[in-house]
Structure 1
Amino acid sequence: MSVVTTVLLILSTAFITFFFIKWVLQSKGKRYPKGPMGLPIVGHLPFFGRHPPSTFMKWWESYGNVFSIRLGSWNTVVVNGYKAVKAAAEHPNDAFSGRPKFISSEVLAERIHEDVFAFGNFSPVYLKQRNLASKALRLFTSKRKDVIEELVTNEAVAFADSLVRKFSTSPGHIELEVQILVVRIIYQFLYGRGEQVDFDRHVKIIYREVEEFNKFTGSGSALDVLPWLRYIIPWKVDALRKLTAKGDAIMWEQVQKHYETFSADHIRDVADAIITSDAEDEENKDRYVLTRARLNLTLADLQGAGADTTSKTMLWLILYMTKYPQIQERVFAEINTVIGKSRNVELKDKPNLVYTNAVILEVMRIVTQVPFSLPHFSMTDAKIEGLDVDKDTVVLFNLYSIHHEKEFWGDPEYFRPERFILDDNSFIRFKNNHVLAFGLGRRRCVGESSQK
C-alpha cells in the first residue's frame, strides 16, 4: 500500500467517524424521517432515474409524507402531499424559508455582493425586496392594464402570423419562436420598448442567457449538490460567471436609463413601478435602501423566472392541444362564443372563459413545471408532522406529489380539464387552489400577486 493510499484511507476513516459521532450526538432523543438507502459521497443521486418525480412518488408511498435522502453532500428532507407541504411552507417561525448556499447562488450573488432575490437568504432585506416587488407589480398592472393588454395582444397577433407564414404548408419546430415571444413580452413588461435596435439585441442576449443557464443547472447542478467539484472543474464556475455578466450589462444599462428619465407621473414599466413604490415607502427608509444593485437583482430574478416557466407552460399547452383535438375544439368554441370574431381577448373575459382556464390549470397540474420548487433550507431545528429536521438541512417541497395526489384528484394520471368545473359551469375553487404553480408560503413566487 502506497503512502498516498494510506493517507487517503486514514483521512476517509476520520471523516466518516467524525460525522458518525456528530450524528449520534445530534440525534439523541430525536425522531428523524426515514428514507431509502443511499451511497457514500453521492447519496441518492444515482437512484433518481430518468423521471425523478416518479421515483419520489414511490418513496413517498414507502416512507410517508416526510422522508429523508442525501442530495450529494447535503442532508435533505422531502415533504409530500398538500397538508404536509402547506404546514412546512407556512411554518410560524419561517423555519423552512431559507435557501441552501449552493455554488450557483453564490456566483449570482457575488456579482455585486448582494443576496439575490429568489435564491438569497431569508432576511429583512429579502422581505423588503419581496414586498417592494409585489407592490410594484400590483401598481403597474393596475395603472397600466391597457398598456399590458395592448402589448400582449400585439405580440400574440404577430406571433400567430409568423407561425402561419412559416408552418402553414410544412411542419416545423416552434420552441424557439415561443421562447422569443415570451422574452419579448417580459422584456417590455420590465423595461419598456426602447430603441428597436437595442430591443432586438437585448432580447436575443436574454434568450441565450436563459437557455445557457438552464443547460448549466439542468434538473439540478452537480456543482450545487457536490460542491467539491468546483476544485476539479473550476471552468464550470467561470462559465456561469461569464454567462451572468452578459445579462447584467443589459440590466445595468436599463437601470441607469430609468433613473435618468424617471417620472413618478408616468410609470412606463415595472422598473419605474419599483422606483415609485420605494419612493412612497417612507416607513422603511431607515432599514432598507433600494440601491441600483438591488433594483438590478430584482429585475434579473423576475426576468429569469418568468421567461423560462412561461415559455415552457405555453409549449406544453400547445402540445396537449395537438394531442387532444376535441379539447382544442371545445376551447375554440368557448372563445368564439364569449369573445366572437370582432375583437381580441381581454383580461376582463377571464371569468367567462371557464373551460379555457380549466385547460390551462390542468396543463400546469399534470406537467408540474417545477416539481420540487426551489430548494428550501431549515434555518433552525424544527419539526414536520412530528419528525425532527435539523438546522442546515435542505428541504424539498414535492409539488408534483400535490398535483398527483390520488386521494384528492381521483385520477391524476389523466388529462381531464373537467375536474375543475361544476355542473353549473363554475370553477371548483378548492381544486383551483391545489394547483401550486407559484408555490406556497413566504417563498412563493412574487408574480402570483399580479395574477389576482
Structure 2
Amino acid sequence: MSELTFVLGILSTACVTFLFIKWLLQNRGKRYPRGPFGFPIVGHLPFFGNHPPSTFMKWWKSYGDVFSIRLGSWNAVVVNGFKAVKAAAEHPDDAFSGRPNFVSMELLIESDNEERFAFGNFSPVYLKQRKLASKALRLFTSKRSEVIEELVTNEATSFSDSLIRKYSTTPGFIELDVQTLVTRIIYQILYGRGKQVDVDKHVKVIIKSLDEINEFSGSGSPIDVLPWLRYVMPWKITAFRQTIAKADGIMTEQVHEHYDSFSTGNIRDVADAIITSDADDEDNKDRYVLTRSRLNFTLGDLQGAGVDTTNKTLSWLILYMTKFPHVQERVFAEIDAIVGKNRDVALNDKPDLVYTNAVILEVMRIVTQLPLSVPHFAMKDAMLNGLDIDKDTVVIFNLYSVHHEKEFWEDPECFRPERFINDDNKLDSDKCNHVLPFSLGRRRCVGEFLAKMNIFLAFSIVMQRCKFVKPSGESLDLTPIPGLVYTCKDFKVLVQKRN
C-alpha cells in the first residue's frame, strides 16, 4: 500500500467518522419512525408494486402507524389509520400542511411564478385563497342553489337518455360519457350557463389535460421525486408543459371575459363569486389583491379537482351497481318508493334516501380513489405519535388505510353499504366521519360540499332512470388503475330504461 493510499484512507475514515458523530449530536435523543429497507438513489420506489396502498398496508403492520420510506431524493413518512391521520392533518401550527416541491408542482407554477391553490405551499397567500374560494362557493350556492340543482338535473337527465339511446341493445364503454357529463356540469358552475359553444369547445381539452396530469403526477411517479430524470426524459417535461398551457388557456380566456363583463350584484357563477368575495373582504388587512393569474389558478384547481374526482366517483358507482345488481335494485326501489316516477330526485330528498347515501359512501370507502392524498410536507420539526419528524420531510396520509382499518370496519374488503345504516334506519355519523375522500385539516378539499351535492344528484337521477346490466362475457374487474386519482378499468355495460 502506497503512502498516498494510506493517507487518503485515513482522511476518508476521519471524514466519515466526523459526519457520523455530527449526525449523532444533532439527533441526540430523537426517536424516528422505523421503516423497510430501501435502495440508494431510488429509495423504496421499486417496492411499491402495482398497488402502492396495499404495499403500505403490509408495512403498516410491520412498522406501526407512522413509518419512514425514501421517495427517490426525498425523505418521507407514511401516516396510517384514522387517529394518526387526523392527528397529522390537524397538527398544531399546521406543521404538516406544506407541499413538497415535486417536479410536477414546480412545473405548475413556473408559467406565472404564482403558487397554485391546491398544490402551492402553506402560506398567507394560500390561506387567503382558501378563505376566498370557500366564501365564494358559499356565496354562489346560497344565492344560486336552485340554478345548480336545475343544471345538474338537466345534464343528468340528458346523460341518462343518451346512455339508453346508445347502449340499450349494444353494450358500450361509458367512461367518456361520464367524463363529459361531469365536465359540462363543473364548467358551467365555474364559468356560467348557456355557453354551449364554449362548453363544446373546451370539454374535450379539459378531459385530456386532466388525464395527462393524473398520469404524470401519479403516486410513486419516478420523474416527480427524481428531479434529474427531467434531463433524461425531457420530452415528458415538454409534454406536461403543453398540457398545462392548454388547460390554463381555457381559464385565462374565461377570467378575462369575467373581468370585462363583471357586474356587482349579479353573481352568474363561481368566477363572479370569487371576484365579489375579494372586493367585499373587510378583513383584507394585508391588501391582498386578487390578480388574474391567482383567479386563474383558483378556478383551475376547482376545475381539476371537481371534474377528476367527481367523474371517477360516478364511474366507480356505475361499475359497482353493474357488478352488484341486487344493490342497484335496492337503490332504485328506495328512490321509487320515496320520489316516484313523476318527478326527478331533488336535493331535498337526500335525508330520506338513506340507502342511496350509504351506497355512495361505501363506494368512496372501498375504492378510495385518492388513496395516498396529495403529498404533504413538514414545514418545521414536529412530533407525531411520539416520533420525531424532521423539517422538509414529505408526509403521506394513507387514506386507504383509514378506509380499510379492520379494527373499525370489521370486514373492510367486503362491499356492504348497509354498514353505514343503524337500527333506526339513519346514517351512522361515526362511520360517515371515517370516510375521507376529501382528506382532513386545512388542506381538506374546499369544494367538498359542492362535489357531494353533484355526486348525489347525478347518481340518484341516473339510478332513477337507468338500469345497468352486465353484458355476457364481461368480467367487470374492480382492480383500479393507479394514478394521482385511481381510475376504474374500462368496462362495457348495457343501459336499459326504467319503467
Question: Is contact 1:138–1:449 with CA below 8 Å preserved after alignment?
Answer: no
Aligned in 2, Cα 1:190/1:111: closer, same or farther, shift over 3 Å?
A: same
Change (3 A) 1:19 1:272: farther
Question: Offset of 1:247 from its aligned partner?
Answer: 1.2
1:346 Cα deviation from its structure 2 partner: 0.8
- The yes-or-no answer on 1:341 pairing with 2:341 is yes
Deviates more, 1:285-294 or 1:77-86: 285-294
Identical amino acids, percent of aligned pairs: 73
Q: Distance in 1 between matches of 2:203 and 2:23?
A: 50
Q: How does 1:269-418 map to 2 (within 5 A)?
A: 269-284=269-284, 286-418=286-418
- The amino acid across from 2:199 in the alignment is F
CA distance in 1, matches of 2:309, 2:331: 22
Q: Tell me the secondary structure at the aligned position of residue 388 of structure 1.
A: strand
- Aligned equivalents of 1:236 and 1:54: distance in 2? 28
Matched residue count: 441
Query: Shift in Å at residue 237 of structure 1?
Result: 1.5
Matching residue of 1:60: 60
Query: Deviation digits for residues 72-125 of structure 1, max 9, x if unmatched?
Result: 111000111111111111011110000000111111111111011111010011
1:331-361 residue CA offsets vs partner (Å, 9 max, x unmatched): 0000011111111111111101000000000
- Using the size of structure 2 for normalisation, the TM-score is 0.85
* Cα distance in 2, alignment partners of residues 44 and 13 from structure 1: 28
- Give the Cα–Cα distance (whole angstroms) in 2 for the partners of residues 244 and 49 of structure 1: 29
> Structure 1 residues 30, 162: closer, same or farther in 2, change over 3 A?
same
Return the offset for 1:22.
6.5
Cα 1:243–1:16, aligned 2, differ >3 Å: closer, same or farther? farther
Specify the alignment match of 2:491 in structure 1.
none
Q: Would the alpha carbon gap of residues 276 and 22 (structure 1) be closer, same or farther in structure 2, given more than 3 Å must change?
A: farther
For residues 99 and 14 of structure 1, the distance between their equivalents in structure 2, rounded to whole angstroms, comes to 37
RMSD over aligned Cα atoms: 1.9
Letter in 1 for 2:73: S
| Unmatched runs of 5 consecutive residues or more in structure 1 | 1-11
Once the two structures are superposed, residues 366-419 of structure 1 have per-residue CA deviations (whole angstroms, 9 ceiling, x without a partner) of 000111110000000001011000000000011111100011111111001111
Q: 1:156 — aligned with what?
A: 156
Q: Distance in 2 between matches of 1:166 and 1:58?
A: 44
Closer, same or farther in 2 for the Cα pair 1:16/1:191, shift >3 Å?
farther
Q: Relative to structure 1, is the Cα distance of residues 16 and 253 closer, same or farther in structure 2, using a 3 angstrom cutoff?
A: farther
Q: Deviations over 1:203-253 (max 9, x none)?
A: 121111112212222334322111111122222212211111111111111
Counterpart position of 2:435 = 435
Aligned partners of 2:399 and 2:449: how far apart in 1? Answer: 19
Q: Is the 8 A contact 1:53 1:400 kept in 2?
A: yes
Going from structure 1 to structure 2, the CA distance change for 1:14 and 1:320 (only over 3 Å counts) comes to: farther
* Alignment correspondent of 2:189: 189
Shift in Å, 1:14: 12
**SS of structure 1 residue aligned to 2:149:** helix
* Post-superposition offset of 1:315: 0.9
8 Å CA contact 2:104–2:216 kept in 1: the answer is no
Secondary structure in 2 aligned to 1:383? strand
Q: Distance in 1 between matches of 2:16 and 2:311?
A: 45
Q: Which residue of 2 aligns with 1:125?
A: 125
Q: 1:165 to 1:95 in 2, by over 3 A?
A: same
Distance 1:407 1:13, change over 3 A: farther
Residues 358, 421 of structure 1: 8 Å contact kept: yes
When structure 1 is superposed on structure 2, of 178-187 and 194-203 the one drifting more is: 194-203
Kept in 1, the 8 Å contact 2:364–2:435? The answer is yes
Which amino acid in structure 2 is aligned with residue 232 of structure 1? V
Partner in structure 1 of residue 140 of structure 2: 140
- With structure 1 as the length reference, what TM-score do the two structures score? 0.94
Summarize the Cα distance change of 1:330–1:449 in structure 2 as closer, same or farther, 3 Å threshold.
closer
Aligned residue in 2 for 1:206: 206
3-state SS of paired residue (2:388) = strand
Structure 2: state its 5+ residue gaps: 1-11, 454-499
- 1:266 maps to which residue? 266
Alignment of 1:91 with 2:91, yes or no, is yes
Q: Give SS of 2:67's match.
A: strand
Secondary structure (helix, strand or coil) at the match of 1:446 reads: coil
Q: How does 1:75-90 map to 2 (within 5 A)?
A: 75-90=75-90
Deviation of 1:17 after TM superposition, in Å, equals 8.9
Q: Rate the CA distance shift 1:278–1:285 in 2: closer, same or farther, 3 A.
A: farther
Specify whether residues 239 and 19 from structure 1 end up closer, same or farther in structure 2 by C-alpha distance, changes over 3 A only: farther
Which residue is 1:3 aligned to? Answer: none
Matched, 1:224 2:224: yes
Contact residue 79 and residue 396 of structure 1 kept, 8 A? yes
